[in-house]
Structure 1
Amino acid sequence: MPTIDANGVKLHYQDTGRGYPIVFVHEFGADHREWETQVRYFSRGYRCITYNARGYPPSDVPEDLNQYGWEFSRDDIAAVMRGLGIAQAHLVGLSMGGYAVLQFGLKYPDMASAIVAAGAGTGSPPHLRDAYLKEAPETARGFITRGMAAMAEEMGHGPTRIQLKHKDPRGWQEFMDHLRAHSAQGMSNTCARYQALRPSLHDFRDAFGKMTTPVLLAVGDEDAPCLDTNLMLKSAIPTAGLWMCPNTGHAINLEEPAAFNAEVERFFAAVERGSWRRRE
């Protein structure tokens, strides 16, 4: 099983296809398998890299809480790229992964040729911030006290995920099967140290204003916790475009894979031919 060392933590990865590299970074409730529809599509012309974050088997699940956090998530992307000898790549992240790729763009601008941040921003809007900071630690404890099955059932029927069940029952069931099998300890540690402690994206508005990397923001119009933040990011990042997918919740790449793939492909094509415009 292929792994890459990320500061002492082994991360499982998959490397599919040939061509210019795309690195996919998964969300909190998923792992590398939820990018399957994107890998099958883009590996026809690109080299597609997927990996499991720390805390998500078969990647290592450190017991030490200090081995988790948004900075680790950001830097693990760099570790994966360096481990595979990739100097620069397109990046695609969803939710927790969307947060990570945006932060990666701030710290490692020369390593990111294009960034797709989908469903990023949960817990960031100022008017929702206090409630989020109270809820996240409780969720972290729930994985240990209630177990993965109960927590997965609650997550899968949440107001921004139930859309997938309505649209694609088999796809939703596959997502749920994967989610139930995650490490309760890994999920708890990730939630306690990454989700609960990461700063609001609004705190980085000035830094985002200096970004030069092309960015595509993608969000479902029923992903209420992320809408305000994506509007902020669109206004802050001079190189950002915003695509809002109708009647869609949080897991946009699973709900609308054909539309998501097409929009991302158009974005990459514009970047590669030099026609993705910076806002005047």
Structure 2
Amino acid sequence: MAQSDGARIHYDSFGEGEPVLFMHEFAGDHRSWLDQARWFARGRRAICPAARGYPPSDVPEAAEAYGQRLANADALAVLDALELERAHVVGLSMGAYTALQLAIYHPARVRSVVAAAGGSGAYKPTRDAFIAQTLAMADAIATAGKLPVEEMGTTATRIQLLRKDPLGWAQFCANLSEHPATGAANTLRGVQAARPSLYDLERELAQVDAPVLLLVGDEDEPCLDVNLWLKRIMPTARLQVMPGAGHALNLEEPAAFNAAVATFLDLVETGRWRPRDPIAQPGADMYRGR
């Protein structure tokens, strides 16, 4: 357990070597990264926290005990508990947002960022609807005292996992059914609905120095435009689109996900990663060189 601003944050740590901090999505938890932990712990240190509100981490009752600032602090608390100066940060969805936040506000703690399936709720034309739906879901979960697991597992961006890997989908649902309603509702209200849109952080994102890999599925409609925009405004970012994939990329396509992340980390660690050449920036004259 790591102590962080009124909550204890559980984490698993496997292997030795360069640390890789895996930050899960809203519908996941520390167990979502099992395929990644098995792979990356062979030569690195794989660290998988459970966010506050997700057991075995503490589940505070108070709504004010949740928020993006606290999510950032919790990630840093795990690094501090392990006495790690910095780490590669790999995040999915909610975890991707936190990974980008750490790169903006705590750059000394971040060696690189993999932001996978990031950007839910950021796209301006659909943002109001996203916030309204998120708050409505929080109310429904709080009233029912449980999560609508099957409904959540068969949405437009999650049906891909069921079609590809029924066993993996069943495990996803089993894990999700164990999430406490209090933690889920408070996370929806305090983190998902309350965090700024990535578009409101354009200046900060454009100044990120850490190497960034953006991963998105081509059937993850809410995140597609956001990731193309991130690629355009972040000179440090590379974009990889995974075909036929929805939101839970690491569960849907673990081999492809692991390979993409491993290649990226190898480039960073061997000094072969480079930011985008200025001549290739958006708006450059395509017919003129240096």
Q: Name the aligned partner's letter for residue 100 of structure 1.
A: T
Runs of 4+ residues over 2 Å off in structure 1: 146-149
- Bigger Rg, structure 1 or 2: 2
1:148 to partner: Cα distance: 2.4
**2:21–2:47 Cα contact (<8 Å) kept:** yes
Task: Give the whole-Å Cα distance in 1 for the aligned partners of 2:72 and 2:141.
Answer: 24
Match of 2:92 in 1: 94
Task: Give the whole-Å Cα distance in 2 for the aligned partners of 1:129 and 1:54.
Answer: 25
Q: Name the aligned partner's letter for residue 73 of structure 1.
A: A
Matches within 5 A, 1:79-158: 79-149=77-147, 151-158=148-155
TM-score, with length taken from structure 2: 0.94
Match of 2:281 in 1: none
1:7 to partner: Cα distance: 1.4
1:147 to partner: Cα distance: 3.7
Match of 1:175 in 2: 172
Task: Give the whole-Å Cα distance in 2 for the aligned partners of 1:169 and 1:48.
Answer: 26
**2:26–2:93 Cα contact (<8 Å) kept:** yes
Task: Give the whole-Å Cα distance in 2 for the aligned partners of 1:185 and 1:114.
Answer: 33
Q: Deviations over 1:203-245 (max 9, x none)?
A: 1111111111000000000000001110111111111000100
Match of 2:67 in 1: 69
**2:5–2:70 Cα contact (<8 Å) kept:** no
Task: Give the whole-Å Cα distance in 1 for the aligned partners of 2:126 and 2:73.
Answer: 27
Match of 1:267 in 2: 264
Greater mean alpha carbon deviation, residues 124-133 or residues 248-257: 124-133
Match of 2:195 in 1: 198
Task: Give the whole-Å Cα distance in 2 for the aligned partners of 1:60 and 1:259.
Answer: 33
- Note the aligned Cα RMSD (angstroms): 0.8
Secondary structure at the aligned position of 1:62 is classed as coil
Matches within 5 A, 1:31-42: 31-42=29-40
Match of 1:226 in 2: 223
Structure 2 residue corresponding to 1:12, chosen from 10, 13, 34: 10
**Structure 1 position 253 matched with structure 2 position 289:** no
Structure 2 residue corresponding to 1:211, chosen from 208, 216, 221: 208
Task: Give the whole-Å Cα distance in 2 for the aligned partners of 1:152 and 1:249.
Answer: 17
Q: Deviations over 1:66-115 (max 9, x none)?
A: 11011111121111101110001100000000000000110110110110
Task: Give the whole-Å Cα distance in 2 for the aligned partners of 1:142 and 1:233.
Answer: 33
What is the total number of aligned residue pairs between the two structures? 277
1:8 to partner: Cα distance: 2.1
Structure 2 residue corresponding to 1:238, chosen from 224, 235, 239: 235
TM-score, with length taken from structure 1: 0.97
Task: Give the whole-Å Cα distance in 1 for the aligned partners of 2:151 and 2:193.
Answer: 18
Task: Give the whole-Å Cα distance in 1 for the aligned partners of 2:208 and 2:202.
Answer: 10
Task: Give the whole-Å Cα distance in 2 for the aligned partners of 1:187 and 1:15.
Answer: 24
Task: Give the whole-Å Cα distance in 1 for the aligned partners of 2:160 and 2:267.
Answer: 30
Task: Give the whole-Å Cα distance in 2 for the aligned partners of 1:163 and 1:112.
Answer: 32
Q: Name the aligned partner's letter for residue 256 of structure 1.
A: E
Unmatched 5+ stretches in structure 1: none
Q: Name the aligned partner's letter for residue 172 of structure 1.
A: W
1:272 to partner: Cα distance: 0.9
Secondary structure at the aligned position of 1:135 is classed as helix
Greater mean alpha carbon deviation, residues 203-212 or residues 171-180: 203-212
Unmatched 5+ stretches in structure 2: 279-290
Match of 1:52 in 2: 50
1:273 to partner: Cα distance: 1.3
1:145 to partner: Cα distance: 1.7
Q: Name the aligned partner's letter for residue 242 of structure 2.
A: C
Greater mean alpha carbon deviation, residues 95-104 or residues 73-82: 73-82
Match of 2:285 in 1: none
1:33 to partner: Cα distance: 0.3
**1:75–1:104 Cα contact (<8 Å) kept:** no
Q: What percentage of aligned pairs have identical amino acids?
A: 48
